[in-house]
């Protein structure tokens, strides 16, 4: 049994989605960032964290990679060229989408008020869409890596969902259609239902 610490309204969504895809049982502690519950296991106060084999793992991508390798699903095998390409795509989503969204979040609510520069947001929205168009051109579908759903799809779809929540207008039609098909997955819907509860 895994224990996930972090509200589903955060990057914890990625971990919960992976666990649902894998059919693995888990307990959820829906802790907010910087809450005592997360600080107890992760001094940075960042969510998500997951407890597995009696140890704490932090960082959503590290947790996804651990789960995928451990259960032999949602990933190409380690040490293969397919895995190198999958890792490169995942890192690209983190650099070019997640980081842009997170910068917008910092300048909206996460930084102390006097450190926020709200004027940066139009530039970030432009950058996000430029990056997304470049990424979309690489994806032949139906999944990021072609014929197999992988953790790269979880990271990309979560960034698309996050963009929607952050009011980043996404105009790329291929990405809109891709996001719709990923959100139709039963595992995604089970986690989305946790947010609506």
* Rounded least distance, CB 3 to ligand GSH, Å: 16
* Rounded least distance, CB 102 to ligand GSH, Å: 6
Record the tokens describing residue 173, joined without a space.
């039609």
Q: Which regions of 17-130 does DSSP assign to beta strands (E)?
A: 26-29, 49-52, 55-58
* Rounded least distance, CB 98 to ligand GSH, Å: 7
Q: In terms of CB distance, is 61 or 150 closer to ligand GSH? A: 61
Measured at CB, which residue is nearest to ligand GSH? 33
Record the tokens describing residue 183, joined without a space.
């959100």
Q: In terms of CB distance, is 22 or 47 closer to ligand GSH? A: 47
Q: In terms of CB distance, is 110 or 174 closer to ligand GSH? A: 110
142: which residues sit within 8 A by CB, 6+ positions away?
A: 181
* Rounded least distance, CB 173 to ligand GSH, Å: 28
Cα–Cα nearest to 32, from 13, 16, 46, 18? 46
Length, in residues, of the chain: 197
Cα–Cα nearest to 153, from 127, 184, 111? 184
What's the CA gap between 31 and 98, in Å, rounded?
Answer: 21
* Rounded least distance, CB 137 to ligand GSH, Å: 25
Q: In terms of CB distance, is 59 or 87 closer to ligand GSH? A: 59
Helices (H) and strands (E) in the chain, counts: 9, 4
Applying CB under 6 A, the residues found at the interface with ligand GSH are: 10-11, 33-34, 45-48, 59-61, 110
Q: In terms of CB distance, is 103 or 129 closer to ligand GSH? A: 103
């Amino acid at each position: 049994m895994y224990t996930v610490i972090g509200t589903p309204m955060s990057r914890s969504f990625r971990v919960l989605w992976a666990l649902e895809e894998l059919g693995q049982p888990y307990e959820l502690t829906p802790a907010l960032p910087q809450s005592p519950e997360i600080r107890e296991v992760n001094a940075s106060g960042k969510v998500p964290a997951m407890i597995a084999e009696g140890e704490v793992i932090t960082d959503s991508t590290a947790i996804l990679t651990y789960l995928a390798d451990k259960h032999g699903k949602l990933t190409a095998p380690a040490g293969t060229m397919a895995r190198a390409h999958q890792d490169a795509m995942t890192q690209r989503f983190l650099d070019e989408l997640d980081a842009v969204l997170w910068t917008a979040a910092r300048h909206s609510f996460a930084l102390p008020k006097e450190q926020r520069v709200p004027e940066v947001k139009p530039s970030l929205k432009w950058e996000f869409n430029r990056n997304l168009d470049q990424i979309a051109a690489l994806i032949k579908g139906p999944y990021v890596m072609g014929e197999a759903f992988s953790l790269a799809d979880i990271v990309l779809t979560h960034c698309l969902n996050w963009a929607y929540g952050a009011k980043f207008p996404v105009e790329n039609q291929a990405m809109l259609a891709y996001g719709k098909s990923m959100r139709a997955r039963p595992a995604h819907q089970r986690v989305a239902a946790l947010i609506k509860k």
